[in-house]
Structure 1
Amino acid sequence: MRSRYLIPPMILILLASLLIFLGGSKERRGEGKMKEVPVRESVIAGSWYPGDPAVLRKEIEGFLRKASPPPVEGELIALISPHAGYMYSGQVAAYSYKLLEGKAFDLVVIVAPSHRAYFRGVSVYPRSGYRTPLGVVPIAEELTQKLISSPLIEYVPQAHAQEHSLEIQLPFLQVTLGDFRLVPIVMGDQDYYTCEELSRAIVKAIEGKKVLLVASTDLSHFYPYERAVALDSVVLERVNAFDPEGLSKDLKMGKCEACGGGPMVAVMLAAKALGA
Protein backbone atom coordinates (compact mmCIF):
# COMPACT_ATOMS: atom_id res chain seq x y z
CA MET A 1 0.00 0.00 0.00
CA ARG A 2 1.39 3.34 -1.05
CA SER A 3 2.05 5.70 1.86
CA ARG A 4 0.37 9.06 1.87
CA TYR A 5 1.45 12.13 3.74
CA LEU A 6 -1.17 14.59 4.89
CA ILE A 7 -0.27 18.22 5.44
CA PRO A 8 -2.39 20.10 7.97
CA PRO A 9 -4.53 22.89 6.45
CA MET A 10 -2.75 25.62 8.42
CA ILE A 11 0.61 24.56 6.96
CA LEU A 12 -0.90 24.55 3.47
CA ILE A 13 -2.09 28.11 4.00
CA LEU A 14 1.35 29.17 5.20
CA LEU A 15 3.00 27.48 2.23
CA ALA A 16 0.62 29.18 -0.18
CA SER A 17 1.34 32.54 1.41
CA LEU A 18 5.07 31.90 1.15
CA LEU A 19 4.78 31.01 -2.54
CA ILE A 20 2.81 34.16 -3.23
CA PHE A 21 5.44 36.21 -1.41
CA LEU A 22 8.34 34.56 -3.20
CA GLY A 23 6.63 34.80 -6.55
CA GLY A 24 6.34 38.55 -6.28
CA SER A 25 9.52 39.23 -4.34
CA LYS A 26 11.71 39.79 -7.41
CA GLU A 27 9.37 42.45 -8.74
CA ARG A 28 9.05 44.15 -5.37
CA ARG A 29 12.81 44.14 -4.82
CA GLY A 30 13.39 45.40 -8.33
CA GLU A 31 10.89 48.23 -8.14
CA GLY A 32 12.75 50.02 -5.35
CA LYS A 33 16.14 49.60 -6.96
CA MET A 34 14.97 50.58 -10.42
CA LYS A 35 13.23 53.85 -9.55
CA GLU A 36 16.49 55.74 -9.81
CA VAL A 37 19.50 54.11 -11.42
CA PRO A 38 22.37 56.59 -11.73
CA VAL A 39 25.11 56.49 -14.33
CA ARG A 40 27.61 53.92 -13.12
CA GLU A 41 30.83 55.87 -12.53
CA SER A 42 34.26 54.41 -13.24
CA VAL A 43 35.93 52.77 -10.26
CA ILE A 44 39.19 51.73 -11.96
CA ALA A 45 40.17 54.68 -14.16
CA GLY A 46 43.59 55.92 -13.07
CA SER A 47 44.59 52.54 -11.66
CA TRP A 48 43.67 49.65 -13.94
CA TYR A 49 43.89 51.90 -16.98
CA PRO A 50 44.80 55.59 -17.54
CA GLY A 51 42.35 58.14 -16.16
CA ASP A 52 43.28 60.86 -18.65
CA PRO A 53 41.14 60.52 -21.82
CA ALA A 54 43.92 61.46 -24.25
CA VAL A 55 46.44 59.14 -22.60
CA LEU A 56 43.89 56.31 -22.47
CA ARG A 57 42.98 56.62 -26.14
CA LYS A 58 46.64 56.80 -27.16
CA GLU A 59 47.49 53.70 -25.15
CA ILE A 60 44.63 51.68 -26.66
CA GLU A 61 45.51 52.82 -30.18
CA GLY A 62 49.09 51.70 -29.52
CA PHE A 63 47.91 48.27 -28.40
CA LEU A 64 45.75 47.97 -31.52
CA ARG A 65 48.57 48.94 -33.86
CA LYS A 66 50.74 46.15 -32.47
CA ALA A 67 47.99 43.51 -32.65
CA SER A 68 47.89 41.22 -35.66
CA PRO A 69 45.15 38.62 -35.12
CA PRO A 70 44.56 35.97 -37.79
CA PRO A 71 41.76 36.83 -40.23
CA VAL A 72 38.27 35.67 -39.28
CA GLU A 73 35.98 34.36 -41.98
CA GLY A 74 32.26 35.05 -41.84
CA GLU A 75 30.27 37.37 -39.61
CA LEU A 76 31.72 38.27 -36.22
CA ILE A 77 29.22 37.44 -33.47
CA ALA A 78 31.23 37.16 -30.26
CA LEU A 79 34.68 37.55 -28.76
CA ILE A 80 36.51 36.75 -25.53
CA SER A 81 38.70 39.32 -23.81
CA PRO A 82 40.79 39.38 -20.61
CA HIS A 83 40.13 41.81 -17.77
CA ALA A 84 43.39 42.41 -15.94
CA GLY A 85 44.88 45.90 -15.81
CA TYR A 86 45.96 47.21 -19.20
CA MET A 87 49.63 47.02 -18.23
CA TYR A 88 49.17 43.25 -17.89
CA SER A 89 46.59 42.25 -20.50
CA GLY A 90 45.89 45.31 -22.65
CA GLN A 91 47.98 43.97 -25.52
CA VAL A 92 46.22 40.60 -25.34
CA ALA A 93 42.80 42.29 -25.36
CA ALA A 94 43.84 44.23 -28.45
CA TYR A 95 44.00 40.99 -30.44
CA SER A 96 40.26 40.57 -29.89
CA TYR A 97 39.26 44.21 -30.35
CA LYS A 98 41.42 44.64 -33.45
CA LEU A 99 38.81 42.47 -35.20
CA LEU A 100 36.22 45.23 -34.68
CA GLU A 101 38.05 47.83 -36.74
CA GLY A 102 35.95 48.78 -39.74
CA LYS A 103 32.88 47.05 -38.33
CA ALA A 104 29.69 48.58 -36.95
CA PHE A 105 27.74 47.31 -33.96
CA ASP A 106 25.03 49.44 -32.41
CA LEU A 107 24.57 47.08 -29.47
CA VAL A 108 27.13 45.25 -27.31
CA VAL A 109 26.29 42.66 -24.67
CA ILE A 110 29.12 42.13 -22.16
CA VAL A 111 28.93 39.13 -19.83
CA ALA A 112 31.36 39.32 -16.91
CA PRO A 113 31.95 37.44 -13.65
CA SER A 114 31.46 38.87 -10.19
CA HIS A 115 34.67 39.21 -8.17
CA ARG A 116 33.50 41.35 -5.25
CA ALA A 117 29.81 40.64 -4.63
CA TYR A 118 28.12 37.33 -3.91
CA PHE A 119 24.60 36.96 -5.23
CA ARG A 120 22.46 34.29 -6.85
CA GLY A 121 21.66 34.26 -10.52
CA VAL A 122 22.57 37.07 -12.88
CA SER A 123 22.47 40.87 -12.66
CA VAL A 124 21.95 43.36 -15.47
CA TYR A 125 22.44 47.12 -15.09
CA PRO A 126 19.02 48.25 -16.30
CA ARG A 127 19.27 51.88 -17.38
CA SER A 128 21.31 55.11 -17.51
CA GLY A 129 24.88 54.24 -18.57
CA TYR A 130 28.46 53.32 -17.72
CA ARG A 131 31.02 56.12 -17.59
CA THR A 132 34.69 55.88 -18.55
CA PRO A 133 37.15 58.73 -19.19
CA LEU A 134 36.08 58.48 -22.86
CA GLY A 135 32.45 59.27 -22.06
CA VAL A 136 29.19 57.62 -21.02
CA VAL A 137 28.09 54.45 -22.79
CA PRO A 138 24.27 54.43 -22.75
CA ILE A 139 22.33 51.36 -21.66
CA ALA A 140 20.08 49.62 -24.20
CA GLU A 141 17.08 49.78 -21.88
CA GLU A 142 14.65 47.94 -24.14
CA LEU A 143 16.96 44.91 -24.02
CA THR A 144 17.74 45.07 -20.31
CA GLN A 145 14.02 45.13 -19.53
CA LYS A 146 13.50 42.00 -21.63
CA LEU A 147 16.33 40.27 -19.78
CA ILE A 148 14.94 41.17 -16.37
CA SER A 149 11.75 39.30 -17.26
CA SER A 150 13.80 36.09 -16.93
CA PRO A 151 13.47 34.44 -13.49
CA LEU A 152 17.27 34.25 -13.05
CA ILE A 153 18.02 37.84 -14.00
CA GLU A 154 17.47 40.99 -11.96
CA TYR A 155 19.26 44.20 -11.03
CA VAL A 156 21.65 43.70 -8.11
CA PRO A 157 23.36 47.07 -7.47
CA GLN A 158 26.34 45.65 -5.58
CA ALA A 159 27.11 43.34 -8.51
CA HIS A 160 28.14 46.36 -10.59
CA ALA A 161 29.34 48.81 -7.95
CA GLN A 162 33.01 47.74 -7.73
CA GLU A 163 33.26 45.17 -10.53
CA HIS A 164 36.24 45.74 -12.82
CA SER A 165 35.81 42.90 -15.30
CA LEU A 166 32.97 44.56 -17.21
CA GLU A 167 34.12 48.18 -17.11
CA ILE A 168 37.61 47.39 -18.36
CA GLN A 169 36.22 46.24 -21.72
CA LEU A 170 34.51 49.55 -22.44
CA PRO A 171 37.42 51.83 -23.46
CA PHE A 172 38.52 49.32 -26.12
CA LEU A 173 34.96 49.25 -27.44
CA GLN A 174 34.72 53.05 -27.37
CA VAL A 175 37.90 53.38 -29.43
CA THR A 176 37.08 50.66 -31.97
CA LEU A 177 33.33 51.12 -32.36
CA GLY A 178 32.74 54.73 -31.37
CA ASP A 179 29.08 55.05 -30.40
CA PHE A 180 27.17 52.00 -29.24
CA ARG A 181 24.65 50.99 -26.59
CA LEU A 182 25.42 48.54 -23.84
CA VAL A 183 23.84 45.58 -22.07
CA PRO A 184 26.07 45.03 -18.98
CA ILE A 185 25.63 41.61 -17.39
CA VAL A 186 27.40 40.25 -14.30
CA MET A 187 27.07 36.59 -13.31
CA GLY A 188 26.75 35.59 -9.67
CA ASP A 189 26.25 31.89 -10.43
CA GLN A 190 28.29 30.23 -13.19
CA ASP A 191 26.89 26.69 -13.23
CA TYR A 192 25.85 25.23 -16.57
CA TYR A 193 22.13 25.66 -15.91
CA THR A 194 22.58 29.39 -15.29
CA CYS A 195 24.73 29.68 -18.42
CA GLU A 196 22.05 27.96 -20.50
CA GLU A 197 19.25 30.11 -19.13
CA LEU A 198 21.25 33.30 -19.61
CA SER A 199 22.15 32.39 -23.18
CA ARG A 200 18.49 31.71 -23.99
CA ALA A 201 17.45 35.03 -22.45
CA ILE A 202 20.10 36.91 -24.43
CA VAL A 203 19.14 35.27 -27.73
CA LYS A 204 15.46 36.00 -27.12
CA ALA A 205 16.13 39.63 -26.15
CA ILE A 206 18.34 40.45 -29.15
CA GLU A 207 16.26 38.66 -31.77
CA GLY A 208 16.47 40.44 -35.12
CA LYS A 209 19.22 42.85 -34.02
CA LYS A 210 22.91 43.03 -34.93
CA VAL A 211 24.66 42.60 -31.61
CA LEU A 212 28.23 41.89 -30.50
CA LEU A 213 28.64 39.51 -27.57
CA VAL A 214 31.70 39.85 -25.32
CA ALA A 215 32.79 37.35 -22.66
CA SER A 216 35.15 38.79 -20.04
CA THR A 217 37.56 36.37 -18.40
CA ASP A 218 41.08 35.78 -17.20
CA LEU A 219 42.61 32.32 -17.04
CA SER A 220 44.83 30.73 -14.37
CA HIS A 221 46.67 32.88 -11.81
CA PHE A 222 49.87 32.54 -9.78
CA TYR A 223 51.09 29.19 -11.15
CA PRO A 224 54.57 28.34 -12.42
CA TYR A 225 54.75 28.87 -16.16
CA GLU A 226 54.51 25.20 -17.19
CA ARG A 227 51.49 24.57 -14.94
CA ALA A 228 49.74 27.73 -16.16
CA VAL A 229 50.27 26.72 -19.79
CA ALA A 230 48.84 23.25 -19.09
CA LEU A 231 45.74 24.63 -17.38
CA ASP A 232 45.13 27.36 -19.93
CA SER A 233 45.59 24.95 -22.84
CA VAL A 234 42.52 23.03 -21.66
CA VAL A 235 40.44 26.20 -21.97
CA LEU A 236 41.88 27.01 -25.39
CA GLU A 237 41.15 23.51 -26.67
CA ARG A 238 37.49 23.75 -25.62
CA VAL A 239 37.11 27.23 -27.10
CA ASN A 240 38.78 26.22 -30.37
CA ALA A 241 36.49 23.18 -30.53
CA PHE A 242 33.52 25.47 -29.81
CA ASP A 243 32.49 23.17 -26.96
CA PRO A 244 30.82 25.21 -24.19
CA GLU A 245 29.42 22.15 -22.42
CA GLY A 246 32.83 20.49 -22.33
CA LEU A 247 34.40 23.70 -21.03
CA SER A 248 31.83 23.91 -18.26
CA LYS A 249 32.57 20.30 -17.25
CA ASP A 250 36.33 20.86 -17.27
CA LEU A 251 35.95 23.95 -15.08
CA LYS A 252 33.71 22.08 -12.64
CA MET A 253 36.19 19.19 -12.42
CA GLY A 254 39.15 21.51 -11.86
CA LYS A 255 40.90 20.59 -15.10
CA CYS A 256 41.29 24.28 -15.89
CA GLU A 257 40.64 27.69 -14.35
CA ALA A 258 38.89 30.80 -15.62
CA CYS A 259 37.21 33.33 -13.36
CA GLY A 260 34.92 34.15 -16.28
CA GLY A 261 34.25 30.55 -17.23
CA GLY A 262 30.51 31.08 -16.92
CA PRO A 263 30.54 34.15 -19.17
CA MET A 264 32.55 32.22 -21.76
CA VAL A 265 30.12 29.30 -21.68
CA ALA A 266 27.05 31.54 -21.83
CA VAL A 267 28.41 33.61 -24.71
CA MET A 268 29.48 30.50 -26.64
CA LEU A 269 26.02 28.98 -26.19
CA ALA A 270 24.36 32.19 -27.34
CA ALA A 271 26.71 32.47 -30.32
CA LYS A 272 25.86 28.91 -31.34
CA ALA A 273 22.16 29.68 -31.15
CA LEU A 274 22.77 32.75 -33.33
CA GLY A 275 24.39 30.66 -36.04
CA ALA A 276 28.10 30.70 -35.22
Structure 2
Amino acid sequence: GIFDAAIILGPNHTGYGSLVSLWPSGAWETPLGRVEIDEGLSSRLLKEGAGTIEADERAHMHEHSIEVQLPWLQYVYRELKIVAIAMLAQDTETAKAIGEIISKIGGNIVIIASSDFSHYEPYPVARNKDRSVIEAIINLDAQELYRRRESLDSTMCGFGPIASAIVAAKEMKAKGATLLKYATSGDTTGDFSRVVGYGSIVMK
Protein backbone atom coordinates (compact mmCIF):
# COMPACT_ATOMS: atom_id res chain seq x y z
CA GLY A 1 0.00 0.00 0.00
CA ILE A 2 0.90 3.67 -0.23
CA PHE A 3 2.02 5.36 2.98
CA ASP A 4 1.82 9.02 3.86
CA ALA A 5 5.16 9.04 5.66
CA ALA A 6 8.11 6.86 6.60
CA ILE A 7 9.63 7.13 10.06
CA ILE A 8 13.24 6.04 9.58
CA LEU A 9 15.23 5.05 12.66
CA GLY A 10 18.98 4.68 12.33
CA PRO A 11 21.97 4.29 14.62
CA ASN A 12 24.18 7.30 15.27
CA HIS A 13 27.71 6.19 14.35
CA THR A 14 29.43 9.56 14.79
CA GLY A 15 28.54 10.50 18.36
CA TYR A 16 27.43 13.98 17.30
CA GLY A 17 24.20 15.50 18.55
CA SER A 18 21.65 14.45 21.12
CA LEU A 19 20.99 10.97 22.45
CA VAL A 20 17.94 10.73 20.17
CA SER A 21 18.02 13.29 17.36
CA LEU A 22 15.16 14.18 15.01
CA TRP A 23 15.71 16.33 11.91
CA PRO A 24 12.76 18.72 12.28
CA SER A 25 12.10 20.41 8.93
CA GLY A 26 13.06 21.03 5.32
CA ALA A 27 14.14 18.34 2.90
CA TRP A 28 16.92 15.88 2.18
CA GLU A 29 18.33 15.41 -1.31
CA THR A 30 19.67 12.38 -3.15
CA PRO A 31 20.57 11.92 -6.84
CA LEU A 32 16.91 10.96 -7.32
CA GLY A 33 15.67 14.31 -6.02
CA ARG A 34 14.38 15.91 -2.85
CA VAL A 35 12.65 14.07 -0.02
CA GLU A 36 10.50 16.32 2.13
CA ILE A 37 10.49 16.06 5.91
CA ASP A 38 7.00 15.51 7.31
CA GLU A 39 7.11 18.55 9.56
CA GLY A 40 3.69 17.96 11.09
CA LEU A 41 4.52 14.38 12.08
CA SER A 42 7.96 15.47 13.29
CA SER A 43 6.38 18.13 15.49
CA ARG A 44 3.96 15.62 16.97
CA LEU A 45 6.78 13.18 17.75
CA LEU A 46 8.79 15.93 19.43
CA LYS A 47 5.78 16.87 21.53
CA GLU A 48 4.87 13.28 22.43
CA GLY A 49 8.52 12.42 23.01
CA ALA A 50 9.52 15.50 24.99
CA GLY A 51 12.47 14.58 27.19
CA THR A 52 13.41 11.64 24.96
CA ILE A 53 13.49 12.90 21.36
CA GLU A 54 15.19 16.21 20.56
CA ALA A 55 15.22 18.37 17.44
CA ASP A 56 18.89 18.21 16.47
CA GLU A 57 20.45 18.27 13.00
CA ARG A 58 24.05 17.66 14.14
CA ALA A 59 23.61 13.91 14.50
CA HIS A 60 22.57 13.66 10.85
CA MET A 61 25.23 15.80 9.18
CA HIS A 62 27.81 13.01 8.73
CA GLU A 63 25.56 9.99 9.33
CA HIS A 64 24.70 7.51 6.57
CA SER A 65 22.31 5.06 8.24
CA ILE A 66 19.11 6.91 7.34
CA GLU A 67 20.00 8.46 4.00
CA VAL A 68 20.92 5.08 2.48
CA GLN A 69 17.24 4.08 2.72
CA LEU A 70 16.01 7.06 0.71
CA PRO A 71 16.75 5.96 -2.89
CA TRP A 72 14.74 2.78 -2.37
CA LEU A 73 11.80 4.76 -1.00
CA GLN A 74 12.05 7.34 -3.78
CA TYR A 75 12.00 4.61 -6.40
CA VAL A 76 8.81 3.05 -5.04
CA TYR A 77 6.99 5.99 -3.43
CA ARG A 78 7.54 9.17 -5.42
CA GLU A 79 5.91 11.60 -2.98
CA LEU A 80 6.56 9.93 0.35
CA LYS A 81 7.61 12.22 3.20
CA ILE A 82 9.98 11.12 5.94
CA VAL A 83 10.81 11.56 9.60
CA ALA A 84 14.50 10.98 10.38
CA ILE A 85 15.53 9.86 13.87
CA ALA A 86 19.15 9.01 14.74
CA MET A 87 19.72 7.02 17.93
CA LEU A 88 22.96 7.49 19.83
CA ALA A 89 21.32 5.94 22.90
CA GLN A 90 20.39 2.35 22.03
CA ASP A 91 19.73 0.95 25.50
CA THR A 92 16.59 -1.07 26.12
CA GLU A 93 14.77 1.70 27.99
CA THR A 94 15.34 4.28 25.25
CA ALA A 95 14.40 1.85 22.49
CA LYS A 96 11.19 0.90 24.30
CA ALA A 97 10.29 4.55 24.90
CA ILE A 98 10.78 5.49 21.24
CA GLY A 99 8.72 2.54 20.05
CA GLU A 100 5.87 3.47 22.38
CA ILE A 101 6.02 7.14 21.32
CA ILE A 102 5.79 6.20 17.65
CA SER A 103 2.90 3.82 18.28
CA LYS A 104 0.89 6.58 19.95
CA ILE A 105 1.21 8.80 16.89
CA GLY A 106 -0.41 6.25 14.60
CA GLY A 107 -1.53 7.29 11.14
CA ASN A 108 -0.78 5.88 7.71
CA ILE A 109 2.94 5.38 8.30
CA VAL A 110 5.67 2.83 7.70
CA ILE A 111 8.46 2.41 10.25
CA ILE A 112 11.91 1.57 8.92
CA ALA A 113 14.80 0.51 11.15
CA SER A 114 18.16 0.78 9.39
CA SER A 115 20.98 -1.55 10.39
CA ASP A 116 23.71 -3.83 9.17
CA PHE A 117 24.20 -7.15 10.89
CA SER A 118 27.67 -8.65 11.48
CA HIS A 119 30.64 -6.47 10.54
CA TYR A 120 33.84 -7.89 9.01
CA GLU A 121 33.71 -11.42 10.34
CA PRO A 122 34.35 -14.72 8.53
CA TYR A 123 31.27 -15.80 6.58
CA PRO A 124 30.32 -18.84 8.73
CA VAL A 125 30.67 -16.82 11.94
CA ALA A 126 28.68 -13.88 10.59
CA ARG A 127 25.94 -16.09 9.21
CA ASN A 128 25.48 -18.00 12.47
CA LYS A 129 25.38 -14.85 14.59
CA ASP A 130 23.02 -13.11 12.19
CA ARG A 131 20.70 -16.10 11.99
CA SER A 132 20.31 -16.02 15.77
CA VAL A 133 19.53 -12.31 16.10
CA ILE A 134 17.23 -12.43 13.06
CA GLU A 135 15.26 -15.20 14.77
CA ALA A 136 14.63 -12.88 17.73
CA ILE A 137 13.48 -10.12 15.37
CA ILE A 138 11.11 -12.44 13.52
CA ASN A 139 9.65 -13.45 16.89
CA LEU A 140 9.14 -9.74 17.68
CA ASP A 141 11.13 -10.21 20.88
CA ALA A 142 13.15 -7.07 21.59
CA GLN A 143 14.51 -8.32 24.91
CA GLU A 144 15.73 -11.54 23.32
CA LEU A 145 17.36 -9.48 20.56
CA TYR A 146 19.40 -7.66 23.21
CA ARG A 147 20.26 -10.91 25.01
CA ARG A 148 21.46 -12.62 21.85
CA ARG A 149 23.40 -9.59 20.66
CA GLU A 150 25.28 -9.51 23.95
CA SER A 151 25.84 -13.25 24.33
CA LEU A 152 27.04 -13.63 20.74
CA ASP A 153 29.06 -10.40 20.79
CA SER A 154 27.18 -9.40 17.63
CA THR A 155 28.50 -6.33 15.85
CA MET A 156 25.16 -5.28 14.36
CA CYS A 157 24.99 -1.49 14.53
CA GLY A 158 21.27 -0.69 14.69
CA PHE A 159 19.94 -2.93 17.44
CA GLY A 160 18.25 0.03 19.16
CA PRO A 161 16.31 1.16 16.08
CA ILE A 162 15.27 -2.45 15.40
CA ALA A 163 14.09 -2.87 19.00
CA SER A 164 12.10 0.37 18.74
CA ALA A 165 10.47 -0.88 15.55
CA ILE A 166 9.58 -4.16 17.26
CA VAL A 167 8.00 -2.34 20.21
CA ALA A 168 6.04 -0.03 17.91
CA ALA A 169 4.93 -2.90 15.69
CA LYS A 170 3.63 -4.92 18.64
CA GLU A 171 1.83 -1.89 20.07
CA MET A 172 0.26 -1.40 16.64
CA LYS A 173 -0.96 -5.03 16.68
CA ALA A 174 1.60 -6.63 14.38
CA LYS A 175 1.07 -10.39 14.25
CA GLY A 176 4.57 -11.40 13.21
CA ALA A 177 7.54 -10.80 10.94
CA THR A 178 8.98 -12.36 7.81
CA LEU A 179 12.56 -12.50 6.56
CA LEU A 180 12.49 -11.48 2.90
CA LYS A 181 16.21 -11.78 2.16
CA TYR A 182 19.53 -12.34 3.89
CA ALA A 183 22.91 -11.96 2.23
CA THR A 184 26.43 -10.83 2.97
CA SER A 185 28.94 -8.65 1.17
CA GLY A 186 30.73 -11.86 0.26
CA ASP A 187 27.80 -12.93 -1.89
CA THR A 188 28.54 -9.89 -4.07
CA THR A 189 32.32 -9.55 -3.87
CA GLY A 190 33.29 -13.21 -3.59
CA ASP A 191 35.45 -12.46 -0.53
CA PHE A 192 34.07 -14.53 2.33
CA SER A 193 36.99 -13.96 4.71
CA ARG A 194 35.53 -10.74 6.20
CA VAL A 195 31.89 -10.04 5.43
CA VAL A 196 29.11 -7.66 6.44
CA GLY A 197 25.63 -9.13 6.88
CA TYR A 198 22.42 -7.59 5.55
CA GLY A 199 18.79 -8.56 5.95
CA SER A 200 15.33 -7.35 4.98
CA ILE A 201 12.53 -8.13 7.43
CA VAL A 202 8.88 -7.06 7.31
CA MET A 203 6.79 -6.78 10.48
CA LYS A 204 3.03 -6.60 10.08
Question: TM-score, normalization: structure 1?
Answer: 0.60
User: What are the superposed Cα offsets for residues 127-166 of structure 1, whole Å, 9 maximum, x if unpaired?
Assistant: 1111111111111111111222221110222210011110
Alignment correspondent of 2:41: 143
Picking from 219, 235, 240, the partner of 2:117 is 219
Higher helix share: 1
- The 8 Å contact of residues 232 and 257 in structure 1, kept in 2 or not, is answered as no
Q: Distance in 2 between matches of 1:229 and 1:194?
A: 28
Q: Distance in 1 between matches of 2:78 and 2:72?
A: 9
SS at match of 2:65: helix
Aligned to 2:146: 248
1:264 matched to 2:162? The reply is yes
Indicate whether 1:155 and 2:55 are aligned: yes
Give 5+ residue unaligned stretches, structure 1.
1-102
CA contact (8 A) 1:111 1:185 kept: yes
SS of the equivalent of 1:227 reads helix
> Which residue of the other structure, out of 167, 172, 175, is the alignment partner of 2:72?
172
Question: Is residue 193 from structure 1 mapped to residue 93 from structure 2 by the alignment?
Answer: yes
TM-score relative to the length of structure 2: 0.80
Please list, as runs of the form range in 1=range in 2, the aligned pairs for 1:48-63 lying within 5 A after superposition. none
Sequence identity percentage: 35
Runs (4+) of structure 1 moved beyond 3 Å? Answer: 252-255
**2:160 counterpart letter in structure 1:** G
Unaligned runs of at least 5 residues, structure 2: 175-204
- 1:62 match: none
Quote the RMSD (CA, aligned, Å): 1.4
Does residue 109 (structure 1) correspond to residue 32 (structure 2)? The answer is no
Please give the residue correspondences for 1:8-87 in structure 2 after superposition, counting only pairs within 5 Å: none
Partners of 1:135 and 1:222 lie apart in 2 by 32
Equivalences, count: 172
Cα distance, 1:121 vs structure 2:
2.5
